Amino acid sequence: MAQDVEIAAMRRALELAARGPASRNPQVGAVILSADGRTLAEGWHRGAGTPHAEVDALSHLPEGGARGATAVVTLEPCNHTGRTGPCTEALIAAGVSRVVYALDDPGETEGGGARRLAAAGVDVEGGVCVDEARALLAPWIASRLRGRPHVTLKWAQSLDGRAAAADGTSQWITGPAARADVHRRRAEADAILVGTGTVLADDPALTARDGEALLPRQPVPVVIGTRPVPADAALRRHPHAPLILPTRDLASALDALLDRGLHRVFVEGGPGLQSALLRAGLADEVLAYIAPTLIGGPRLATADIGVDTITDQRRLAVSDVRRLGDDLLVVARLEPHAEGER
């Protein structure tokens, strides 16, 4: 059973992990503890091709400095050779006597690190702070398990479920605090996806901003649909060149994004695109920004999502509810949909 000092070190490792880029590779942090519980070194993974968290932490110690130590890692140490060598072998060579980790690696080639360490005589314990680690790595895990990007649907709605007034106007349903939260979350995504209908109707810039200033990290703007995107569209002035996918095949579009290393997709494409992704079982998370206002009329936040009878309803697991000014944000995870699961 993990000791208190190891649990505290795991929480520190999770803080370190969050410093790494959220993309194709998992965010991982590591802390090396001495036999008496002192922190000897810390490390985290800084992106593809850079040392993994365990190796980064070990690099801060002199030769032999980790002998008899405990390595606390947010993800099961990898057991394969990719751009870098296996972390299991680095830990064994360093003489680490115990490894505590949070989450099992779901990869077929990367997994198995715990077994390799145990076979080498290292004391291994997994599942420490597993819920916190899973929350951090949820998009990466979904991408690995489902073979497609993690897809987050975002919409703003009135209390009675409308995304726009009868004439189509929708700016602004929610207030400035909710809009600021949206921009922060855009900056955490690899790509922001809309349909051509949204481009033609709203001419969105698809940038992540703090007021009028661009945030340092910007998602790649992606447009899906068969209608042409105007040459003077605002998104063509985005810091990243827009990716235009002239198709209505959502699964192939997501495959194209995955091939480009875009693993976290933030969808702001209006009820048509959002509902199509829900209907196909290609969405993982919903962010519903709910304003205390009533609009009425026909323009609902979602359209047909394939629910013909109440027994077909799509149940979600609420992971967060928070107040943003006068508005409410509900964050919910979608369970795998048998028809759309890949």
Other CB atoms within a 10 A radius of the CB of residue 272 amount to 15
Q: Kindly tell me if the per-residue pLDDT of 269 is higher than 90.
A: no
CATH 3.40.430.10 describes domain 147-334: yes
Q: Kindly tell me if the per-residue pLDDT of 83 is higher than 70.
A: no
**φ/ψ (deg, to 5) at 36:** -100, 15
Q: Kindly tell me if the per-residue pLDDT of 96 is higher than 60.
A: yes
What is the percent of the chain where pLDDT is above 70?
94
Q: Which of 12-16, 142-146, 265-269 has the highest mean pLDDT?
A: 12-16
Q: Which of 31-40, 46-55, 266-275 has the highest mean pLDDT?
A: 31-40
Q: How far is CA 218 from CA 207, 215, 309, in A?
A: 6, 7, 40
Residues 6+ apart with CB under 8 A from 224: 193, 194, 195, 196, 245, 247, 248, 250, 253, 269, 273
Q: Break the chain into its structural domains and give their ranges.
A: 4-137, 147-334
Of the candidates 330, 311, 312, the one whose C-alpha atom is nearest the C-alpha of residue 320 is 330
Q: Kindly tell me if the per-residue pLDDT of 339 is higher than 60.
A: no
Cα 55 to the center of its chain, rounded Å: 24
Tokens of 137: 């790595």
> Which residues participate in catalysis according to the annotation?
54
Radius of gyration for the chain, computed over Cα atoms and rounded to the nearest angstrom: 22
Tokens of 144: 């690995």
| DSSP strand pairing (29-33 vs 39-44) | antiparallel
Q: What would the mean pLDDT of 93-100 be, rounded to a whole number?
A: 96
**Residue range 122-174, pLDDT digits in tens:** 999 999 999 999 888 887 887 788 888 999 999 999 999 999 888 888 888 99
**Residue range 213-259, pLDDT digits in tens:** 999 999 999 999 999 999 999 999 999 999 999 999 999 999 999 88
The superfamily CATH assigns to domain 4-137 is Cytidine Deaminase, domain 2 (3.40.140.10)
Q: Kindly tell me if the per-residue pLDDT of 67 is higher than 90.
A: yes
Whether this model's pTM surpasses 0.85: no
Mean pLDDT is lowest, of 22-31, 38-47, 296-305, 326-335, for: 22-31
State how far the Cα of 190 lies from the Cα of 207, in Å rounded to an integer. Answer: 12
Residues 6+ apart with CB under 8 A from 327: 174, 175, 177, 178, 289, 290, 291, 292
